[in-house]
Structure 1
Amino acid sequence: MDFRRIEVIFLIVFFSLDIFLFLSFRNSQQLVSSSSTNTSTVTEMRKRNITFGSLDTKNGYAYYLGSQPSDELAQNINKLRNQEVQYDIVNHKVSSTLANEIAVTATNKKAIMDKFIKKDSNVLFGDEYTYSPQLSNSSQMVYVPTGSLGEVYDKTAQLVFTITDGKVVGYTQTYVKSLIILHERQVVKSEKDVITNLYANSEIPNNSKITYANLAYTKLLEAKGSTIYIPVWFVTIKNKDSKVTTTKKVNAFTGNIIKSSTNGDNYSAQ
């Protein structure tokens, strides 16, 4: 990518970010924030039978990241074997039906599929993905890209295996070739800040367990064909009575709670 093209992308990105921040301000009623992150909040949570591990109090750093659509999957799709493959040129997505279904159990599925994705004839660029138990369930195994900048929890870069009757029958895959740092690093909220803020805003019910609290990048917006990603805390909460799990999302830069989107996308930041 030449320098002038990078300059153009930067101008588009920052203009788009200005628009987003303005719209966020106008729609601030959808976002809730709190400064209640003190020790008394943690004590109160435990009294209300909310279970969680040790909360990290350190503030880390993260970036605004950008990417452009990649045709790497289309260009390498002929390497795949023993599967029926289709490619969606609009969404840059591979959809595969395996010729030989893979029998798995709850205890061995990770080991089996970790090995499966390492072979290029099975999955393209599989060694760039890592299993995400937080995003997975009994019918889907979700793998996410991981690198020096962190993991990406977004449907623009995801490998999802479908499990039916104890067998992996196929998968879908999207891929981001590279992520570009768009701005100097910024401080992000700590795990403790995020979880106590969720509780203070009635987002964590009594008698529940926090099973995951992970920081990952997800799509913020699209600008002229480029995708901009922002760091988001994904906090998964399991109700001890109903056994139902929900995942809350928090903007890691601002601490604002991200309400569910109206388009059904579970992972995109609003």
Structure 2
Amino acid sequence: MGFKRIEWIFFIAFLGVNIFLLNIFQASKSDQMIVSPESQKIPIEQRLENDEIRYEGTLSDQSLTGYYLSAKPATMQSLYTEIKKNNSQLLSDGETKFDGTRLIHQTMDKFIVPEKEDLVAASQTYWKKSVMRGDEYTYQRNFSTLSDEKIEIVATQSYEGIPINDPSSQLILNFAKENEEYVNTNYSQTFVSNLTPLRESMSLYTEKEAIATLYSNNRLPAKSTIEWAQLAYTLILNVRGQNVYIPAWIVSVKKADNSRQLEVVNAFSNRIITNSSVRKVENY
């Protein structure tokens, strides 16, 4: 097959993905017009106060930009084989199980942290030194769990400072409490390669606008607490093994009965996508 023909095939494929993404974007804009926070004349802060919905600090109206991102989930065995060529000691401190795009590693010498407040710093030091591509992961406080019942340190890959909130790009360190110390039992890792923007950067809806949308759509119950809101890339589409991510506002809500729910708002369209499934495209 000639080079020109290969180049033409790639151009058509890229064009098809972009047209598909544009259709999704336009459809989501139309859907969101059903309930629009702009139609509300009372400031969102006042509406939250009237319903006794609490939050710390202020709701940000900072305008940011983001991308449609493409990346390919790495086969962890292949990634290990590639990196080990230049690092013969890689993963030599324990037993590793590879399962497609995921690995689980258990150290032979226990990784022990004496104090709970040192867990994050000690974990960061460990993964930057011992984990494959460890310097590409950043600790995510909001996605981690540091309770008496469960300790799970979560780090993710990021793009231009915005983390990827998806199982395809995570490093998770699990700890158990033993004799008043914290012992790492294992860690799991996934990784995506070739993070690439599919289009030019686009303006995003703000945190305040996302909260207003959740309120207008009855996703914030009276007397609840907005624990945190975080901008992160979330998976919306898989095209022939390539993942496509968009920026979204992830919002943690604690209800009056102490139960919790996570809400997800598309930061491009300001549309709620909490229960949206990942679309898969095999042919285009």
Moved more, 175-184 or 62-71: 62-71
How far apart are the structure 1 equivalents of 2:59 and 2:20?
A: 34
TM-score (norm 2): 0.79
Q: Give 1:139-154 correspondences, 5 Å limit.
A: 139-148=151-160, 150-154=162-166
Counterpart of 2:70 in structure 1 is 66
Q: 2:239 aligns with which of 219, 223, 228?
A: 223
**SS of the counterpart of 1:114?**
helix
**SS of the counterpart of 1:156?**
helix
TM-score (norm 1): 0.82
How far apart are the structure 2 equivalents of 1:32 and 1:87?
A: 46
Deviation readout 1:163-184 (Å, 9 max, x if unpaired)? 2334221111111223111111
How far apart are the structure 2 equivalents of 1:32 and 1:170?
A: 46
Structure 1 pair 6–54 and aligned structure 2 pair: CA distance change class (3 A): farther
> Counterpart amino acid of 1:232?
A
Counterpart contact for 1:32–1:257, Cα < 8 Å: no
Counterpart of 2:186 in structure 1 is 170
Q: CA deviation at 1:35?
A: 1.8
How far apart are the structure 1 equivalents of 2:79 and 2:49?
A: 49
Counterpart of 1:186 in structure 2 is 202
How far apart are the structure 2 equivalents of 1:41 and 1:242?
A: 23
How far apart are the structure 2 equivalents of 1:73 and 1:16?
A: 34
Percent of pairs identical after alignment?
Answer: 27
Runs of 4 or more off by more than 4 Å in structure 1? 18-26, 36-39
How far apart are the structure 1 equivalents of 2:229 and 2:34?
A: 19
Matched length: 257
Q: CA deviation at 1:96?
A: 1.0
Q: CA deviation at 1:255?
A: 0.6
Counterpart contact for 2:102–2:188, Cα < 8 Å: yes
Counterpart contact for 1:144–1:151, Cα < 8 Å: yes
**SS of the counterpart of 1:260?**
coil
How far apart are the structure 1 equivalents of 2:192 and 2:97?
A: 18
Aligned CA RMSD, in angstroms, stands at: 3.1
Counterpart contact for 2:238–2:279, Cα < 8 Å: no
> Counterpart amino acid of 2:142?
Q
How far apart are the structure 2 equivalents of 1:66 and 1:41?
A: 34
> Counterpart amino acid of 2:157?
P
Structure 1 pair 48–54 and aligned structure 2 pair: CA distance change class (3 A): same
How far apart are the structure 1 equivalents of 2:133 and 2:41?
A: 44
**Larger of the two Rg values belongs to structure:** 2
How far apart are the structure 1 equivalents of 2:99 and 2:13?
A: 25
> Which sections of structure 1, spanning at least 5 residues, go unmatched?
263-267
Deviation readout 1:210-269 (Å, 9 max, x if unpaired)? 222111111111112211111111111223x4333322100001111113256xxxxx69
How far apart are the structure 2 equivalents of 1:15 and 1:98?
A: 47
The structure with the largest helix share of the pair is 2
1:237 to 2:237 alignment:
no
Q: 1:112 aligns with which of 117, 122, 126?
A: 122
Counterpart of 1:265 in structure 2 is none
